[in-house]
Amino acid sequence: MHDSVRASDLAVQSPDGESASGTALTDAADRALHANLAHFTGGLSPAALAGAYWDWAVHLAASPGKQMQLAEKAWRKAARFGGYAARAALQGEKAPPCIEPLPQDKRFLGEEWRRWPYNLIYQSFLLNQQWWHSAATDVGGVTKQHENVVDFVARQLLDMYSPSNFLLTNPQAQKRTLEQGGANLLRGFQNFLEDLGRSASRGKPVGAEAFKPGENLAVTPGKVIFRNRLIELIQYAPATGTVRPEPILIVPAWIMKYYILDLSPRNSLVKYLVSQGFTVFMISWKNPGPEDRDLGMEDYRKLGVMAALDVITALLPNRGIHATGYCLGGTLLAIAASAMARDKDERLRTLTLLAAQTDFTEAGELSLFINESQLHFLEDLMWEQGYLDTKQMAGAFQLLRSNDLVWSYALKAYLLGEREPMSDLMAWNADATRMPFKMHSEYLRRLFLDNDLAEGRLHADGRAVALHDIRVPIFAVGAQRDHVAPWRSTHKIHLLTDAEVTYLLASGGHNAGIVAEPGHRAARFQVLTKQADERYSDPDEWASLAPTKEGSWWLEWVSWLVARSGEPLLPPPMGPALCDAPGTYVLQA
């Protein structure tokens, strides 16, 4: 008779005598605690913030020279403020301020801020803000990331207590209240309750319901011609009698819905490309759920980019493809293009990267949230859910621009009682998607934290990929005020390839810089082409050499594409239609 097998007999013993089942249990307990804590902190790791603070505080405590410098700065600022107060008492509003707001700071522009006592209030705030920046930075021994985190947190706290945020210290809000007999405050309170209710029910912002894909957004005619568990591939109908032989494949970021590039007809990049005689294909990513937790970066490359290329190649054989990627989609496309070059897959005619990073050593303020402590905390949150939720992701982006996205909104909506009209871009921004546990963890670790793509450690199909292998012409677009993919970071594509690179720097930010249709107000750009055998210019030298042009960069890009395309032909047939564009995946909540 065989002895019965007990669970304890099957437990694997670790070198120190602990069983694997016991280790898994304790690991699960840790993850559960961190996940629950993350719900209260918005996904930010308290340990990461504490580590940055203590690094700064300990080094500052051991730096008497820095302390003396800060004391001297405080004394000088107090003297400047005292001198300004005296001049303001004598000259009134004609007294020149002792400190000017930063160019992007629009909080204190009104004439009301020049009157007593509000002139003293906002001037003292700006001086305090400047002093805290000095205190948070240039402390010897503090790591650069910890310094950035401390400076960032100090800025967040100061922005929270800005005099513009409170009725008693905001003369413009007081003026509005007197003019309207307090009606603005009543409307503001109603706005607050409405926003609170929509947030609790996970609803969209007020006015966003007026913008719907397939009705007044994403309306460029087309068909979904392919679908798998991760993407729908849209082929857009031709709008001209002839088209260029080479089709365009657009790979958008999976962090948001694809129709950022097909908004209203007036500012749709897709509609513009079709009107210029191109056959356009668009990837529409599925909004993943808990069942997709194990989809990784390789799945996104294979089921996304490569699957779309295979469909296009079957429909239009022997034609080069103008591959275009936006934001994370551009990073993924760069990985796919590197693997294709390595494997001598020559289906790409050109490669266009829109606000897409390939080197993450200067990844902007988003890198504040990327270190081992923060990633471990975030991974535990995603481990519990199976994905990163849209609200958790949006919170981090709002923090990066809290003055614009949080406090200025609160001032208008709650103190002034004004609702900013909803736009197509704002409605799209509220239509976020989730990200699978495995893919997001791999993306943050392997690209943001370890920079594996730029340093040759990233693998596709089990073999290393290198951007250096890409030989097709590259068109890369950065945006001057991009806080997600800073232009100096996207400019690094020059260092990573030996291909011909045309780099274009557009005005605007991460979204508005890309959605810059012809006729767009104040649109301008700089552009310069570096041949494969020409020397490298760093960002500052590049900016001094690249000529500035007025208008939309779309026209420049289309001219570049036309120069690398064949003579126009009759439009190709449409692929087998599964449904009309915009498809079904884009409608998933």
CA distance 476 to 547: 16
Question: Considering the entire predicted model, what is its pTM?
Answer: 0.87
* Phi, then psi, of 439 in degrees rounded to 5: -65, -45
Tracing tokens 């100096």 back to the chain, one arrives at 488
Q: Tell me how far apart the alpha carbons of residues 148 and 150 are, in angstroms, rounded to a whole number.
A: 6
pLDDT of residue 152: 87
Residue ranges of E strands in 441-533:
459-460, 463-464, 474-479, 501-506, 524-530
**Residue 64, preceding bond cis, omega within 30 degrees?**
no
Catalytic residues: 327
Measuring CA to CA, how many Å separate 326 from each of 18, 107, 260, 477?
A: 48, 32, 10, 9
- Stated as kind and residue range, the H or E segment containing 186 is helix 183-200
- The segments of the chain whose pLDDT lies below 70 read 1-25, 27-43, 377, 379-405
Burial of 53 (0-12, 13-18, 19+ CB in 10 A): middle
CA neighbor of 583 nearest in space, from 250, 329, 222, 268: 222
Q: What is the pLDDT of residue 105?
A: 86
- Residue 478, φ and ψ in degrees, nearest 5: -115, 165
Identify the DSSP state of 419: P
**Residue ranges, CATH 3.40.50.1820, the chain:** 222-389+434-587
The fold adopted by the segment(s) 222-389+434-587 is Rossmann fold (3.40.50)
d(CA 187, CA 454): 52
Question: Alpha-carbon distance 214 to 257, whole Å?
Answer: 13
Per-residue buried b or exposed e for 437-468, using 16+ beta carbons within 10 Å of the residue's own CB: bbbbbbbbebbbbebbbbeeebebeeeebbbe
Cβ contact 479:513 at 8 Å: yes
